[in-house]
Chain A
Amino acid sequence: MQALQKLMTLTAVAGLVLFACASDTSANMTLVQANIAFDQSIDLHKNSDITFGGFQARPNDKVSMGADGNMKLSGSGEILKPFGSPSVITLGDARNHMLNFIPGNYTPGSGITSLKAHCTVKGTNQDCASVPLFGTKQSTVLVGMDMTIGDGMLSLDGAAAPSFDMSVIYQ
């Protein structure tokens, strides 16, 4: 009887030990952290659109206006007024952030067959459409563009102006 009791007691103890061991290794917990940072959104305000100077274009001429307003014409046409007005966009406080300027959504029209925008942040000489720039407290973005004249006559009145979007995003 004593031997049987002893055996049962040992078995029970062994069972408890095994149960305790199993509890240690069969369950596990992990803390998941959801990191989130807060910053201010980019504030853009367009002060003006692009206005080209005067020119007399021929089919397939390429007319360019830099972000400084200077115009060039490649082709058989003629520039009548060599200075235009770039688009001026004010950029809000983007300090401590790299910014990418991405022109897109080109919409030809009014006899213009192709567009390509280029831009400069005032105070820098870099083409911001091709190189990321470091944001400052306040920036002024000047936007010029190249365009190619189509084969047909330019529509002078009542036609939709060609357009594009200039997106500024945090890198």
Chain B
Amino acid sequence: MKIQNILAGLSVAAIALVMVPDAWSATQSVTANIRFDTPLNITKTQDIDFGSVQASTADTYTISPTGSTSHSGSGAYLFGSPHAASITLAGSTTNTMNISVGSYTANNGVTPANATCKYGSGAAGSCAIPAAAAPGAGTTLLVGADVTADGTQAAGTTAAPTFTLTIVYN
């Protein structure tokens, strides 16, 4: 009896051992999600131009995204046709964008600051736009800024301070 019991036990163990590989394998379906959209494309049509202003005079000159000008000191706009920068954004019809500004860089004693933006038909305001509407086939971003001249600029000289606009899909 004991030998029979032992043989029976061994048989069960062998059967269980044969079944083990089936229990250890599993199939997991993996889905590779991918979404297709249009790359973001930025085309700068024109830079900001303040025209000619009074030399040798410290002042802060402002141009709005719509091109209106003002200044806060004793300088003056002399001539030229001041205008804001114009940039065309194109890309997704559904994805919003984050627009930000930075890397203000002075040139010839003229320091840029406080860039202002007007995106599409929106109101003019800060260039920090966390959820700008999808640009679609093309939406215009108008950009103005302040520039402060330190008064060391001689007549006949020019300056070209810069800043960077960064646009990222959300």
Q: Which residues of A contact B (CB under 8 A)?
A: 1, 4, 7-8, 11, 14-15, 18, 25-42, 97, 169-171
Given known contacts A36-B161, A38-B52, A38-B157, what 7 new A-B pairs fall within 8 Å (CB)?
A27-B169, A31-B163, A32-B44, A34-B160, A36-B53, A39-B79, A40-B54
User: Closest approach, in angstroms, between the C-beta of A44 and any C-beta of chain B?
Assistant: 13
Docked Cα-Cα span, A30 to B164, in Å, equals 6
Given contacts A32-B143, A35-B160, A41-B78, contact A26 B169 (CB under 8 A): yes
Contact A35–B50 (Cβ < 8 Å): yes
Closest to B25 in A: A1
Contact A38–B153 (Cβ < 8 Å): yes
Contact B54–A33 (Cβ < 8 Å): no
User: Closest approach, in angstroms, between the C-beta of A20 and any C-beta of chain B?
Assistant: 13
- Interface size for B (C-beta < 8 A) is 53
User: Closest approach, in angstroms, between the C-beta of B35 and any C-beta of chain A?
Assistant: 9
Given contacts A14-B32, A34-B160, contact A29 B53 (CB under 8 A): no
Closest to B115 in A: A32
Contact B87–A30 (Cβ < 8 Å): yes
Contact B162–A34 (Cβ < 8 Å): yes
Number of A-B residue pairs at CB separation under 8 A: 135
User: Closest approach, in angstroms, between the C-beta of B101 and any C-beta of chain A?
Assistant: 8
Q: Which 4 A-B pairs have the closest CB atoms?
A: A170-B79, A25-B39, A26-B169, A38-B55
Contact A26–B52 (Cβ < 8 Å): no
Contact A28–B42 (Cβ < 8 Å): yes
Contacts of B159 in A (CB 8 A): 35-38
Docked Cα-Cα span, A30 to B165, in Å, equals 5
Contact A36–B147 (Cβ < 8 Å): yes
Interface code B123-135, partner A: CB below 8 Å = 1, 0 otherwise? 0000000000000
Docked Cα-Cα span, A170 to B55, in Å, equals 14
Contact B145–A34 (Cβ < 8 Å): yes
* B158 CB-CB contact with A under 8 Å: yes
Docked Cα-Cα span, A152 to B159, in Å, equals 59
Contact B158–A35 (Cβ < 8 Å): yes
Contact B48–A28 (Cβ < 8 Å): no
Choice from A26, A38, A97, A171 contacting B168 with Cβ under 8 Å:
A26
